[in-house]
Structure 1
């Protein structure tokens, strides 16, 4: 990366030659991260730099900005109007679930006011945080009845050479797009997607001394979700809208259409000198709308027993479901999920199941198909209850009266604007009837859990269900698991459905150790943590493993990254009250020793559950935390989990 010697200032304006080149800068509170904007040849650009002492490194190179609307062009022919004073942004809020309960945000904000060739105003607001930068566009005005169609964004992310971890965007089919491709490992920055549909978000980059995660936040029903174009010449990644055939033609245009005034979602670049910044960041929440619910006391994160992974037919049989309700009761887990097919049970009925669960102190979550004509998953129900407002409200009122605590809604398969509206409408309806929500077959998190905290988790990941059929997934799971904390799970809750000790069948065998699987309950964050393992397996686990699974939280007060890199390993710690949970994963096929630095913990007794011999067993170690740094051996594809109290 080129280094630039510079004179530091918060805001500067330069006019030179006939280009009338103007530049502005807003810096993070720490003074390390700098967000630059350049108005040149009637176009707008940005770049991101990092300073140490008197040296400045380029983190993101000069990248294009702008919107092209059907009615007006806001990418070319832009003239400068004015610039705001730099404003300090501070905010404190509390999350009902997530990696950190009490959140505090501090940033500096700058707004540029421009006009296009027709004289229409165009605004860009930028923020610089200590762990990243963000910007969004705004079209002001009072033309509420006039619709404006955004044809394209000219937004780009020009990443210096280095490594990238990305997944390709899904082609439309019966089950997709659903962000369920695997991260295969590092590729050179600028690599083209293997198909024409481009790359999905979030996208992780490592360039020189810096790590970056590109994503978006604050998406509402006035816009669509974005991904990235197929080709990124020399590292320039450009924004792409959803595919036109998503939703089978019944969810409107792939181009967002809104009345004035409107603001786009935030375009977000998390940045730092270690990959741990991605693990600890709450930037997506900081940039999202505050909570809209007056009362959130009924929202309770928790662990969930789940019958479907081990027995796909179980939702149709009351006796099989009772085994998992009994498991949840015995383990003091809060919930049990009844997956697809419960509406047409072959033995018993759902009313009896709900009553039985209530007698055991277990809340029931029910599965629904989001379709509607927008998906073609016709053999999984109930369906046709979510996409029409009046029908959905009636159904939520009905199941709420029955005592149901939440819903899992599946098979959305589109990021179009009308689909984004459906997501948000479901969250609002569910909140009215005190129902928790888990989205599956869905888009990625974009901060909605702050605005609607009854959104406990979202899939958008290649998860443990893949063990049902995918041998390639099983072969690469350990690597996949060490990439997700820096990518998908960095931006919001992830319903991976961890803890699969047993093999799903004789054809697909998982290769990770049992201690690795146990560690996923801490490494992966999800407000509803679905435990996938069969009920029978718990009869044979050591008492100390059962105690760990009984007590491990599903929501956290604080998260600390300890060490690791994607594909290699990850070790982190999460706190609930005064108790720290630590966990680590080996992403490689060779054993290794990792150093666990707990210098942020004053004292306590350490209980570790580690790899045993053979890999389908555990070992236990206990000691006082006297030395703040200790070593742990991780078996090939291994892991550990522990408690410090």
Structure 2
């Protein structure tokens, strides 16, 4: 109790008035936000002795003439220390989350401006007290950066996007004005300090983008869509916006708006463990979550249903999917997915194609204790949501993969929530593909089991850019927003000089151990096994090992990491620890202290690592077993494009 009283006193004293400027500091005093004494709200952000944002001007403008951000006549400012905790229903970093922040609220006539300063970041939002429905014409977030940071830029060509980005490393000064960036966008300096900008608690409002300006970045939003163009003959998904409103959102005037999130790290390891997007999101809204089951899924599309050593013609048919079910059951995988092609047409997902007997298939899956997930374009679900989801539930389906969403305006954000609600009513998981990044909604609706919004392994089917370097960027960039459906697990591994682009029999860049280590690095409660059952059965030792890796985590410790170069981390599920590492195109060696293990227990370590010849033959691997305890150290050796995953099981 005494320690808590001292801490509260310290925080209250951090509200300083220097010529009316207001300083709010994080609980540990390392991050400071200054609200500048002006008629219009403006902030600066400092971390340690470094200024990150010289000036940040947030405003909201409404069609009725109201503007949020004028604070000359503010009523009062309150600042307090907040301690919060919750248990994650589908945990991806931490099951039990506890955090402390300093919260400062500026109360004005029509709005509150709420600011939270954490030990690892800053977030703000507007809370509106307007009456009735309102039209938001724009929300401005004008950022003047204090330094010429290095930016890992996820460039977008327009606001119609699949949100599947590569990250170009370049100085902010080298980015052309008007360049559009998706979120999260990461900025770093040469002292190890980093700033990642994103959002949380996105509901009934458009997705935020950034646009480059002369001095930094400003907010950019899709307009409210009034009309879309009819699909051309032969098209099923490339929808275009025909008419937009002169506002970005039509919404209730009494509400909180999304959090604008600035994740701050003093070293690269801290970027990966940052959990602010989930912490800031609203709590679970589902009464019954007992049916929500994360897990592994055998996926058909990446490997093009290439199945050998069977006595039937493989393809989009009942026998092929029964084979997938058998494979999933044999290795303890929870699900299979029927991707594009299972239905009569892509626009009619109410019945299967003539070669699939859904009644037979779902009965067979139920007998084998394997769930089925069905693919659909988003528009059929948007038009006939209740009818289709009720039908799928009646079939015994366990989830849906929703694809080619592309838009991120208010209507589509509302579609995400509407689908999550309706799917939960029918006990269906939802995996969003071809659409925007996660922004906290899956905390409120934990049946949202995954999001894509990533340049994942599927791109190896048509290009050569999914490299070990790209893989080592994602934990610091896209993954800071939340879960990502990268779809690892390819068994045909090669280095660049032996790699070939093959659509129907795809390969992966990097070693076999690198592919398997991704299951420990990337956060995905629904984790795909992307390759063919035939390839997995031919590599049974690896497949058996992969089947032991869970998809949710109770604890995460990032041990060593450098952006785009390597990641070494430990994760815990129940009493078992998993040590995972990947590297880019450089070989590395780590000596790992096992201090994360329980002090009074002995563990069996089973590890898959790069084989001695994996620098030239990427498929070369070895699996070792040994006995370890907290007192031991181990050597993790990664070859070019390599990886490592160790499983520590209590004896």
Structure 2 equivalent of residue 551 of structure 1: 548
Q: SS of 2:547's equivalent? A: helix
The CA deviation at 1:398 is 1.5
C-alpha contact 1:316 1:346 (8 A) present in aligned 2 = no
The CA deviation at 1:451 is 0.3
C-alpha contact 1:252 1:416 (8 A) present in aligned 2 = no
C-alpha contact 1:303 1:333 (8 A) present in aligned 2 = yes
The CA deviation at 1:111 is 0.7
Structure 2 equivalent of residue 179 of structure 1: 163
Structure 1 equivalent of residue 171 of structure 2: 188
Distance across 2 between alignment mates of 1:167 and 1:224: 19
Matched, 1:45 2:27: no
C-alpha contact 2:491 2:536 (8 A) present in aligned 1 = no
Structure 1 equivalent of residue 619 of structure 2: 616
The CA deviation at 1:108 is 1.7
Which of 186, 202, 211 is residue 204 of structure 1 equivalent to? Answer: 186
Which of 103, 115, 120 is residue 97 of structure 2 equivalent to? Answer: 103
Distance across 2 between alignment mates of 1:509 and 1:548: 20
Distance across 1 between alignment mates of 2:144 and 2:100: 24
Q: SS of 2:16's equivalent? A: coil
Structure 2 equivalent of residue 80 of structure 1: 73
Distance across 2 between alignment mates of 1:250 and 1:362: 43
Distance across 1 between alignment mates of 2:250 and 2:591: 52
The CA deviation at 1:628 is 4.8
Q: SS of 2:42's equivalent? A: strand
Distance 1:506 1:442, change over 3 A: closer
Structure 1 equivalent of residue 606 of structure 2: 607
What are the residue-to-residue correspondences of 1:120-519 with 2, within 5 Å? 121-141=110-130, 143-144=131-132, 146-156=133-143, 158-171=145-158, 177-184=161-168, 186-192=169-175, 196=178, 198-207=180-189, 208-221=191-204, 223-229=205-211, 231-234=212-215, 236-242=216-222, 248-249=240-241, 253=245, 255-311=248-304, 316-344=316-344, 345-371=353-379, 384=380, 386-388=381-383, 391-471=384-464, 473-474=465-466, 477-502=467-492, 506=502, 509-519=507-517
Distance across 1 between alignment mates of 2:445 and 2:12: 40
What are the residue-to-residue correspondences of 1:621-636 with 2, within 5 Å? 621-623=624-626, 624-625=628-629, 628-636=632-640
C-alpha contact 2:178 2:213 (8 A) present in aligned 1 = no
Which of 586, 592, 596 is residue 596 of structure 1 equivalent to? Answer: 592
C-alpha contact 2:457 2:508 (8 A) present in aligned 1 = no
Distance 1:585 1:157, change over 3 A: farther
Q: SS of 1:49's equivalent? A: strand
Distance across 2 between alignment mates of 1:437 and 1:419: 15
Distance across 2 between alignment mates of 1:637 and 1:412: 33
Q: SS of 1:434's equivalent? A: coil
Structure 2 equivalent of residue 3 of structure 1: none
Q: SS of 1:494's equivalent? A: coil
Per-residue CA deviations over 1:55-78 (Å, capped at 9, x if unaligned) read x33233222222233333536754
The CA deviation at 1:85 is 2.3
Distance across 1 between alignment mates of 2:243 and 2:202: 17
C-alpha contact 1:393 1:429 (8 A) present in aligned 2 = yes
Distance across 2 between alignment mates of 1:213 and 1:336: 35
Distance across 2 between alignment mates of 1:87 and 1:252: 42
Distance across 2 between alignment mates of 1:332 and 1:514: 21
Number of residue pairs matched by the alignment: 593
The CA deviation at 1:312 is 6.0
Structure 1 equivalent of residue 537 of structure 2: 539
C-alpha contact 2:60 2:136 (8 A) present in aligned 1 = no
Distance 1:112 1:628, change over 3 A: farther
C-alpha contact 1:315 1:339 (8 A) present in aligned 2 = no
Distance across 2 between alignment mates of 1:8 and 1:86: 7
Root-mean-square deviation (Å): 2.4
Structure 2 equivalent of residue 380 of structure 1: none
Distance 1:569 1:243, change over 3 A: farther
> Normalising by the residue count of structure 2, what TM-score does the alignment of the two structures yield?
0.86
The CA deviation at 1:599 is 2.3
C-alpha contact 2:53 2:143 (8 A) present in aligned 1 = no
Structure 1 equivalent of residue 526 of structure 2: 528
Structure 2 equivalent of residue 374 of structure 1: none
Per-residue CA deviations over 1:466-507 (Å, capped at 9, x if unaligned) read 111113x24xx2111111111111221111111112268657
C-alpha contact 1:191 1:232 (8 A) present in aligned 2 = no
> Normalising by the residue count of structure 1, what TM-score does the alignment of the two structures yield?
0.87
Structure 2 equivalent of residue 638 of structure 1: 642
C-alpha contact 2:224 2:410 (8 A) present in aligned 1 = no
The CA deviation at 1:251 is 8.8
Distance across 2 between alignment mates of 1:629 and 1:252: 60
The CA deviation at 1:582 is 1.0
Per-residue CA deviations over 1:412-441 (Å, capped at 9, x if unaligned) read 111101110011000000010111110000
Q: SS of 2:407's equivalent? A: coil
Q: Which shows bigger deviation, 406-415 or 420-429?
A: 406-415
Distance across 2 between alignment mates of 1:418 and 1:85: 35
Per-residue CA deviations over 1:310-334 (Å, capped at 9, x if unaligned) read 1169772222222221111111011
- Consecutive unaligned residues of structure 1, counting only runs of 5 or more, are 1-6, 16-21, 115-119, 372-383
Q: Which shows bigger deviation, 589-598 or 333-342?
A: 589-598
Which of 560, 570, 579 is residue 567 of structure 2 equivalent to? Answer: 570
